[in-house]
A and B are shown apart, each in its own frame.
Chain A
């Protein structure tokens, strides 16, 4: 497989070494288990096969990482990125994109085809059933498609996060932030919520069998990314007596984080504290999506589109949420005669919550790059972006006149920022979309870029057309 050059770009692809092949085969076993159970096969011994699946994900990634980086010095590892089919929109890339996309379509709209409650009396089959033992372990009930998703998501962030750390081990910014993102995903997004559910602090039934509701117990999942925070059922669940004092704590925390925490932290360090340090979507983009960061469009036209669309989503989520709150406090289902669910919540959930963030956002990684959602769609990114652009101490400083316009920074900016356009003019990069991943700074061969927080004064760097190094004249303009 690896020897055949499937790349559209037509250059010689480097073939995988033995250890990489072994890692890839182990990874393929994991994918195989997912595909055949997705295809409908239900295993008898789910404990065994689930253990095998998860082990294959971790071991496959680790073996592949060893094969890729063992014996190599620490440094930038982008050799062959545009020669390989799967990282340069070759046939393999397209195939991966199609599989990812299909997975999301099934996940959101046809979970029964993943096996969710598709068996007799609503028991799980296939892929979802495979995860029943783990779900039983955490909370004593069978898995949902979301539990499957959350588990796979976490396993992928951890395993490919380890690969990322090894790949960027020369850069302590990258290592530090990736450890944080792994820990956030594992504990805040996965373990703590599952354990709380297991302790009946969430997603529980009372003694009479009455369902008490579900609310989001990932403390970093904040409105407007968590767009259903103010939905009636969510607000009710947080206030359910059985969940106290935890439910109310989450309610207060959610509002605090959105209204006070986020602007303050973003003012001091930029939106990166969220997007590339703790966020789950960002976590997946940075780990699983790292191989695709070079595929984001750097065109000016893409930037223009981005500014429209992301702010429109922000407006959309705000209107939708205002309608929701109106309904909640006025105890009504409609606003100006429009049904709040049908006209506000449902379209948002479908178009933005599912289609944009999941199907396009992750499914299209190998085609459009790993941050499509974060760049064009995420309302949280839009909100923090406004703060970052207009009222923040964060900037990427350009080191005087040292830029040689090589283009590595722009190429590897997952957000499609033409970093070079600023750097070669000696200007700093102050852009609402920058998620502070720091990769531009890592890949710059001349040490030109530094992410830093400092006084707002002088934040934009060089103002004149003349770049540092020319003492001949000053332009008086």
Chain B
């Protein structure tokens, strides 16, 4: 039986292993140099903030692996010998494989700033980064976080939970400006300020300054300002973690290059998750998508191919979610920061400034394109189906009550939303009463 070796015990590698094991007895080995067991990277912030212990972030109890006959190896792969199908390890003996899945994830970007090697300067990706942060914030009073994306906000929230003042440098004119339309970006900016984040838009890091002992003492910004700090969080995005793969013969660019079957150029070597770059991006999607969900879907998919049912990667309609301090965010379909000529949009915001929705549709066909929702939960299943079926904006708006996923007893705003929508667009959508949501599912 073929021995399957997976490098990386994150969501993508582990999902692949589980799905292979479900249908086959072949030997599976997962290698990681980060933690012995799979944990949820998305929960790193909650460990630091004291909401959970590390062990609470492990989705499976430690006995799970042995019970399911999945071998684990805690070591670092230094090199892949594709000729001999062998992995050179940092400490242990070489590992042989018949099939290899690369699931090596990402690493934080570092853009070569002067001073980025100083003590107190760090990214946030791995468990080791978290340990470093714990160490770095022992006596910290002030922090600078660079980069206005999701991990930056999480880092800001973490630091603030320990009473550290945070200055947040964001290069764009808006928070998360390459993803969010202006209205949403403003709503989040206001919320960050409410949490005492010193948010600096249109501001970039220029240099990190040494205190003379190899420790950060200040940053200098592009506008020439000096900001005192004892820690600098660099959260300017991540890139595929593929350094050890570069010379192996497996073709890489920014990530490991794969076709739609997640196959690399080398026979029997596959790649999944954050480290992947598609030679040809799936329709409507990016070539590199570093989110939890795509990692999981790739893991499910590659398992089928390994099991002998060669299966192409076909993610369903795009969805994502995040949380900015107190405000939850969900998105279904595409709401881009700038709208195309064929796109119309409608934005609704609650007077409390903590809830909004933004819908986008095609103005010639009325086809629903996407929705952003902040502070209101919506049903994934319904939006998934509406996006696949090319539902009209009128249908979506009329069924908003059923699509709501907020807990019971919450205030509802659908009437107001639809009334304003009608006023804004001149349409006359009649809002339908709430139904049991599965009644709207047609397949």
Contact = CB atoms under 8 A, between A and B. Distances in A.
Interface of A: 9, 11-12, 14, 73-76, 78-84, 170-173, 175-176, 298-300, 397, 399-402, 404-408, 410-411, 420-421, 424, 438, 441-443, 445-447, 450-452, 454-455, 457-458, 465-473
Contacts of A469: 293, 296-297, 315-316, 319, 384
Given A399-B405, A451-B408, A470 B315 contact: yes
B61 A447 contact: no
B438 interface: yes
A393 B140 CA distance: 52
A73 B40 contact: no
Given A73-B195, A469-B297, 10 more contacts: A78-B46, A82-B51, A400-B381, A404-B42, A407-B56, A420-B59, A438-B407, A446-B322, A447-B321, A472-B315
B50 A82 contact: yes
A402 B330 contact: yes
Contact of A401 (B52, B59, B380): B380
A98 to B, nearest CB: 23
B376 to A, nearest CB: 9
B123 to A, nearest CB: 20
A443 B51 CA distance: 10
Contacts of A82: 50-53
**Which 7 A-B residue pairs are closest in the complex by CB-CB distance?**
A400-B380, A75-B326, A447-B377, A472-B314, A406-B43, A471-B316, A83-B50
A450 B313 contact: no
22 contacts: A9-B53, A14-B163, A74-B326, A78-B49, A80-B49, A172-B409, A176-B409, A401-B319, A405-B40, A406-B40, A407-B58, A411-B56, A446-B322, A446-B328, A450-B405, A470-B300, A470-B314, A471-B316, A472-B304, A472-B312, A472-B315, A473-B311
Given A79-B51, A170-B326, A455-B436, A471 B46 contact: no
A406 B56 CA distance: 8
Nearest to B163: A14
B398 interface: no
Contacts of A420: 59
A206 to B, nearest CB: 48
A258 to B, nearest CB: 26
A170 B327 CA distance: 11
A168 to B, nearest CB: 11
Contacts of A404: 40, 42-43, 292, 321
A441 to B, nearest CB: 5
Interface of B: 11, 19, 22, 40, 42-43, 46, 49-53, 56-59, 61, 134, 138, 161-163, 194-195, 292-293, 296-297, 300-301, 304, 309, 311-316, 319, 321-323, 325-326, 328, 330, 377, 379-381, 384, 388, 405-411, 436-438
A396 to B, nearest CB: 11
A472 B297 contact: yes
Contacts of A447: 321, 328, 330, 377, 405
Contacts of B51: 76, 78-79, 81-82, 408, 411, 443
A87 to B, nearest CB: 9
Contacts of B292: 404-405
Contact of B411 (A172, A401, A410): A172
Contacts of B304: 472-473
B50 A471 contact: no
A73 B405 contact: no
B375 to A, nearest CB: 10
B195 A470 contact: no
Contacts of A405: 11, 40, 42-43, 59, 292
A170 B330 CA distance: 18
Contacts of B134: 11
Contact of A472 (B11, B58, B301): B301
A172 B40 contact: no
Contact of B43 (A83, A299, A408): A408
Given A400-B379, A469-B319, A79 B409 contact: no
With most chain A CB atoms within 10 A of its CB, the pick from B19, B46, B314, B330 is: B46
Contact of B52 (A176, A300, A397, A411): A411
A402 B321 contact: yes
Given A82-B50, A400-B380, A73 B297 contact: no
A470 B408 contact: no
A84 to B, nearest CB: 8
Contacts of A74: 326
A299 B163 CA distance: 34
Contacts of A78: 46, 49-51
A471 B314 contact: yes
A471 B311 CA distance: 11
A424 B49 CA distance: 23
Contacts of B61: 299-300
Contacts of A173: 407-410
B326 A73 contact: yes
A454 B380 contact: no
B301 A470 contact: yes
A73 B11 CA distance: 33
Nearest to B191: A73
B438 A455 contact: yes
A74 B410 CA distance: 14
Contacts of B437: 454
Contact of B293 (A76, A79, A401, A410): A401
B438 to A, nearest CB: 5
Contacts of B46: 78, 406-408
Contacts of A455: 436, 438
A446 B380 CA distance: 11
A402 B59 contact: no
Contact of A73 (B163, B194, B321): B194
B312 A172 contact: no
Contacts of A441: 407
A74 B326 CA distance: 7
A477 B233 CA distance: 47
A170 B19 CA distance: 39
B282 to A, nearest CB: 10
Contact of B319 (A73, A402, A438): A402
